[in-house]
Amino acid sequence: MYRAPRGTSDILPQEQPYWRYVEQKAASICQLYGYERIDTPTFEEAQLFSRSVGEETDIVEKEMYTFKDKGGSELSLSPEGTAPVCRAYVEHGMHNLQQPVKLYYIATTFRYERPQAGRYRQHHQFGYEAIGDDDPALDAEVIDLAWQFFKSCGLVGLTIKLNSIGCKKCRPGYLATLKKYYSGYVSTLCSDCRIRLKRNPLRLLDCKNPSCQKITSSAPRSIELLCPECDGHLRQLKQYLGLLDLPFVENHRLVRGLDYYTRTVFEVQPEEGGAQSALGGGGRYDDLISKLGGKPTPAVGFAAGMERIILNLKKQKVPIPTLPKPQVFIAYLGEEAKDEAIKLASKLRREGIAVLEALGTRSLKAQLRQANNLAVKYALIIGEDEVKSGKVILRDMITSEQKTVSPSELERLLR
Ligand code: AMP
């Protein structure tokens, strides 16, 4: 028997109301803030991600689904959404548009990870990017949008974690300080962190290993070594977040797992935190567009995992509206009546009324049982008499009341 590949899942009809609900909340909030939808391909040139996300990140080193197609091009299934959007921005000359360009997406995302609750090999992200302005007010807007989005979904008890990791001017100095600090603890660090110390020292800060965390608690903090511009940006951002009444906590350990971030990084976390719990994260990436061949263009964005949002909606028992289903079932008695039933079903559907119809040669009783199981409100019954008169029996499935009606009356009643 075949099964869905490890770390992937089917989204069955009973799950669909959650997905439609979250997608609709995402679309409405984006409309409120002036973001337009963009869809990029499921796969891109592999290099797009190694250049942007970073050669020495977990995503690029261990998690990408990369393959050669029949023409020999090296492609990767998208492991994240920001790089493709930036590629599209550059490719389509969007710097000629009014800046910032504000785009959002809901995309399937692929990472070869060890599957566990809230972590899959195929997941979906709702993300948005504001490209073309370095005003900290735009960072504040991006954070506000994330907050209002989760709120509109009905989620409570969330926190915003905030940090600044500086820019290409001040980060090298910070990294040197960080390396010097951790070099004093090499023997205590976990094996991963010893590699990070050489290759990606920023990631030392978010190691989950308790002994590394102990060392990190007194590690030098990036915000203490920001250049005056980055420092000013952070101060201004915090002031705007205050104006917006957004409850953020500064966290010097927050660095995020992708290399393109500059200055602002943030995450939204549900109450019971933990390694795999972030609902979403984002930040500023002022050097990415130029790295991908565009003009130097500052930008800021955010992405949230759809599956994690839905997990939290279920945990918090948020009521989700059901999706509409047909409320009418057509039953018949005999071959001639079946012909009429087929015609009637088609006519009602063309008029915009959703109907289900019986099939086969089951008894009327069995057909009505089926209607009952489907929990429709009405059954339409066509028997020999109705074939002759051109009318149908309308049965209220709740009260069992029946009456014979003409086609025009039927449509009016069903509406
Ligand atoms: P990232 O692109 O790593 O910043 O991830 C953004 C958000 O996507 C995270 O906060 C999660 O909600 C979600 N996410 C990331 N990786 C996975 C995964 N493997 N499975 C499910 N959700 C994920």
Ligand 1 atom 10 nearest Cα: 280
The architecture of the domain spanning 328-414 is: 3-Layer(aba) Sandwich (3.40)
| Contact call for residues 277 and 269 (beta carbons, < 8 A) | yes
| Contact call for residues 174 and 270 (beta carbons, < 8 A) | no
Token pair, residue 235, equals 């101060």
Ligand 1 atom 21 nearest Cα: 119
Rounded distance from Cα 404 to ligand 1 centre (Å): 57
pLDDT at 275: 57
pLDDT at 276: 66
pLDDT in tens, 325-352: 999 999 999 999 999 999 999 999 999 9
The architecture of the domain spanning 13-170+226-315 is: 2-Layer Sandwich (3.30)
What's the per-residue H, E or C state across 95-111? HHCCCCEEEEEEEEEEC
Q: Which residues line ligand 1 (CB under 6 A)?
A: 80, 111, 113, 118-120, 123, 125, 257, 278-281, 303-305, 307-308
Rounded distance from Cα 305 to ligand 1 centre (Å): 5
Looking at the chain, the domain(s) classified CATH 3.30.930.10 span 13-170+226-315
Token pair, residue 103, equals 């785009």
Ligand 1, pocket-test mutation among 82, 116, 119, most atoms within 8 A of CB: 119
pLDDT at 200: 87
Rounded distance from Cα 120 to ligand 1 centre (Å): 9
Give the whole-angstrom CA distance, residue 193 versus residue 190: 5
| Sites in the chain below the pLDDT cut of 50 | none
End-to-end CA distance of the chain: 45
Helices (H), 127-203: 136-153, 171-183, 191-199
pLDDT in tens, 204-247: 998 888 999 999 999 999 999 999 999 999 999 999 999 999 99
Q: At a CB cut-off of 8 Å and minimum separation 6, what does 131 contact? A: 85, 86, 89, 94, 99, 100, 101, 102, 103, 289, 297, 299
Rounded distance from Cα 217 to ligand 1 centre (Å): 25
Looking at the chain, the domain(s) classified CATH 3.40.50.800 span 328-414
- What's the pTM value of the predicted model, to 2 decimals? 0.94
Give the nearest ligand 1 atom to 80 CA.
2
Give the nearest ligand 1 atom to 81 CA.
2
Give the whole-angstrom CA distance, residue 266 versus residue 250: 9
pLDDT at 82: 97
Give the nearest ligand 1 atom to 308 CA.
12
Torsion angles phi and psi, residue 44, rounded to 5: -140, 170
Give the nearest ligand 1 atom to 111 CA.
19
Rounded distance from Cα 340 to ligand 1 centre (Å): 53
| Contact call for residues 296 and 290 (beta carbons, < 8 A) | yes
Rounded distance from Cα 278 to ligand 1 centre (Å): 8
